[in-house]
Amino acid sequence: MTDARIPVGVATGAGSWPGTDPREAAAIVVGELPALPHLVELPARGIGADMIGRAAALLVDMPLDTSTTGYRMAQHAGPVTRTARDLLARDLDALEEAWEVAGRRGSDQPVKLQSAGPLTLASQVELGGGHRVLTDRGAMRDVAESLAEGLVAHAAEAARRLGSPVVVQLDEPGLPAVLAGSLTGVSILQTPRALPEPEALAVLQSVIERLDLPVLVHCCAAEAPLALLRRSGASAVGLDVSLLRTDDLDGVGELLDAGVDLALGLVPAAGVERMPGWRDLAEPAVRLVDRLGFPRTLLADRVLVTPRCGLAGASADGARAALRSAAELARAFADGADPDAMA
């Protein structure tokens, strides 16, 4: 099997999907995203199906339960962990079936798997006493190690069942809050301290290095730490272009100069009555590369097109429209559509 790589000049999804039917979701994603489909999350199914719940299915020897405020570390695997594992198995069954129907099994076509990244996970899961895992450096390292081990096994199983290479996306929407120390605690006097950037980098690097696969780190929050992401070892970094500030331009340019590709969130994920045309969707990306001084061909050579974030909040029709628009925009970039028409 050919070594996996993260393709560029194509469209992919950001992660979550509306509804509760994994087979319908898998069929749509495989059909609409032929170059880089992904194993979706369906959080509408409830506990164990959201981004953190999915991690409960991946963690090795670190079961999760729930509390009144969210997910919490547990002593023994209970209903939450069993449900999360069952839902993940169903999702993988559905993707395998759709992959088989599409005639992709045994191809060099990569598939993307998603998981909460170690820092977002540590910021959202509680220890037994109610404090976030983030507040205990040893526990945070243990969670990162357990997540990495689980992802290695998950990626190996997916590659075996699909007969195709896989790449991994680590979702880190909580990373800016972790670094800023802006998370709430069990009381106003016990808020988690800001995690120093070198420590955060070491945690993220430990998972990426353990995976030994191409990794896309996705941070759809404002003030994404671009310098940290550049040094993380990720092959690509995913950003919501609408949240980039002028102060971020140098960081984006340094990512590209360092050989890190971009997954640009250009397509609205929800809340639009009518999806804009591809020229309107392209404009922020064109403006970005122009301001950075890169040729517009970079949009075909170094960029993936994605929705701005997950699609769980969209309608079924809206989610499908978002994928179609992303794919149309990626084709326009790849075909070298007239840049003046996009400006």
Task: Evaluate whether residue 173 is within a structural domain.
Answer: yes
Percentage of residues in the chain with pLDDT exceeding 70? 96
Residue 311 lies inside a defined structural domain of this protein = no
The residues, ordered by sequence, that sit 6+ positions from 240 with a Cβ below 8 Å of its Cβ are: 220, 221, 265, 308, 309
Domain count, the chain: 1
Q: Give the residue numbers spanning the domain of 78.
A: 22-265
Write out pLDDT tens, residues 11-69.
999 999 999 999 999 999 999 999 999 999 999 999 999 999 999 999 999 999 999 88
Instruction: Give me the chain's average pLDDT, please.
Output: 94
For the record, the structure tokens of 200 come out as: 């955060």
Residue 191 has pLDDT above 90, yes or no: no
What pLDDT is recorded for position 3? 58
**Residue 270: which pLDDT band, with cuts at 50, 70 and 90?**
confident
* Residues 6+ positions from 51 with CB-CB distance below 8 Å: 15, 16, 41, 43, 114, 116, 120, 171, 310
Arithmetic mean of pLDDT, 92-119:
95
CA–CA gap between residue 211 and residue 221 (Å, rounded):
24
Residue 258 lies in a domain: yes
Domain assignment present for 8 = no
User: Quick check: is 150 in a domain?
Assistant: yes
329 is a domain residue? no
CA 50 to chain CA centroid, nearest Å: 13
More confident residue, 274 or 84: 84
Q: Please give the Cα distance from 98 to 24 (Å, whole number).
A: 9
Collect all residues with Cβ–Cβ distance below 8 Å to 220 and sequence separation of at least 6: 14, 173, 238, 239, 240, 243, 265, 308, 309
CA distances to 19, 31, 48 from 207, in Å:
30, 31, 22
How far is 64 from 50, CA to CA, in rounded Å? 13
| Cβ-based burial of 336 (10 A; exposed 0-12, middle 13-18, buried ≥19) | exposed
Q: Model pTM?
A: 0.95
Q: Structure tokens of 276?
A: 């804009």
1 confidence band (pLDDT: 50, 70, 90): very low
Is 281 domain-assigned? no
Task: State the SS3 of the chain.
Answer: CCCCCCCCCCECCCCECCCCCHHHHHHHHHHHCCCCCECCECHHHCCCCCHHHHHHHHCCCCCEEEECCEEEECCCCCHHHHHHHHHHHHHHHHHHHHHHHCCCCCCCCCEEEEEECHHHHHHHEECCCCCEHHHCHHHHHHHHHHHHHHHHHHHHHHHHHHCCCEEEEEECCCHHHHHHCCCCCCCCCCCCCCCCHHHHHHHHHHHHHHHCCCEEEEECCCCCCHHHHHHCCCCEEEEEHHHCCHHHHHHHHHHHHCCCEEEEEEECCCCCCCCCCHHHHHHHHHHHHHHHCCCCCHHHHCEEEEECCCCCCCCHHHHHHHHHHHHHHHHHHHCCCCHHHHC
Indicate which CATH number applies to the domain containing 168.
3.20.20.210
Alpha carbon distance 38, 22 (integer Å): 12
Is 60 exceeded by the pLDDT of residue 101?
yes
Residue 295 in domain:
no
Residue 189 has pLDDT above 60, yes or no: no
- How far apart, in Å, do the first and last CA atoms of the chain sit? 41
C-alpha span between 217 and 327 (Å, rounded): 20
pLDDT for the residue numbered 106: 85
Tokens representing 25 are 């979701």
